[in-house]
Amino acid sequence: MKTDKTQKYEDLGLDTKSARDGYRALNKDGTFNVRKQNVPFWERINIFHSLVSMSWPKFFMVLASGYFLINIFFASLFMLVGTQHLTGIRGITPLDQFIEAFFFSAQTITTLGYGQVAPLNLAANIVAATESLLGLLLFALATGLMYGRFSKPYATIKYSSHAVIAPYQDINGFMFRVVNPKKNQLMEVEVTVSLSLKRSDSELRDFHLLELERSKVVFFPTMWTIVHPINGSSPLDKLTRSDVLERDAEFIVMIKAFDESFSQTVYSKSSYKAHEIKWGRKFVYLTERHGNGVSIDISRIDETFQIELN
C-alpha cells in the first residue's frame, strides 16, 4: 500500500524555526524583517531598485549630490588643462577660476552654453565634448528613473495601528480595519491573513491560514473591517490573551487589488503582533451620511470603545 508522503506547508516561505520571543517576520510597513549577511558586493548591489524604491527626499538628494560631484570633477579637469585655454575666464585667484570652471561645467553638462566661456585648445575641447556626451546619457537616465518612480504601481492602503478581539455574532472575532486614503479606485480586492504561533514544546512555529468572514470585495471605496470568526475551527479558539502573548503570535496580512489608474495588480503587506491586539474593544462605526453620499473620517480609523466579550 502506497502512502502519500507529500507535506503541505503553510509557512508562506517564512522561517518556521524563529521561535525567539519578539520575533517579527513582517514589519508594519510591509518590509520583511530579514538581514542578509556576507553577500558579495556585486551580488548585493541593485542601483535601479534602490533609486526607484527610496523616498523622494533621498532620491532628489542623490541626484543633486551626483550633479554637484560631476561638475566638481570636470571643473578640476578644466583646471588641470589650464583656465588660460578657456576664453572668458576672468577670475584672478585659483578659487575664482575654479568657481568659473564649475559653472562652465554646469553649462556644458546640460548642453546649455551661454557662450561667455568656451574651450580654446584640443584638450579643453575633449573634456567639454566628453562632459556633453556624459550629460546626455545621465539626464536620459534621470528622466527614466523619474518616469519609473511615477509609473510604479503600489497600493497606499492604510491599516489600523492595532487589531481587536471583539464580539462577532454569538462568538468573538479577530478584527482590523483598512482603507484606501487615495482617490484611485481599487477593485477585486482580496485579503489573506495568516497566523504564526510559537510551539510550546519546540523551537518551531506553526502557520495557520485564517478563515475570514469575507476575503474578497469587488469595490473598495469605503473602510473595510476584516474579520476572522473565532469558532471551533479557529486556531485562536480557547486561547486567552496570555496564551497569545506567550506564544508570540503574529498575524500576517497580504492584500491584493487591481488598481484602475495603473491597470495593474498591486500588493500591500502588514502584520500585527500579540501586543498590538486590544481585547474587549470594538471599532467605532465611522460611515456617516453626507448629502447624497457618505463620508468617512479616516483619522479615526483606530477609534474603539470597550465592550464585553462573548
Domain boundaries, the chain: 42-151, 158-306
Residues 6+ apart with CB under 8 A from 143: none
pTM: 0.74
pLDDT bin (cut points 50, 70, 90) of residue 114 is confident
The alpha-helical segments, DSSP class H, found in the chain are 41-44, 47-53, 56-81, 94-109, 122-151, 241-246
What is the CATH code of the structural domain delimited by 42-151?
1.10.287.70
Query: Where are any strands of DSSP class E within the chain?
Result: 86-87, 118-119, 158-159, 163-168, 171-179, 186-198, 205-209, 216-219, 224-230, 250-259, 264-273, 277-279, 281-283, 287-290, 293-296, 304-306
pLDDT for 26 beyond 70: yes
Highest mean pLDDT among 161-170, 196-205, 256-265: 161-170
Question: Which pLDDT belongs to residue 16?
Answer: 63
* pLDDT given at position 5: 55
Determine the pLDDT at residue 1: 46
Angle (CA) 31 283 253, round 5°: 25
Beta-carbon contacts of residue 290 (< 8 Å; ≥ 6 apart): none
Q: Provide the pLDDT confidence category of residue 20 given band limits of 50, 70 and 90.
A: low
Output the pLDDT for position 175. 95
User: Domain 158-306 is classified in which CATH homologous superfamily?
Assistant: G protein-activated inward rectifier potassium channel 1 (2.60.40.1400)
Cα–Cα dist 245/105, whole Å: 62
Q: What is the pLDDT of residue 221?
A: 87
Name the grid cell of 79: 583646471
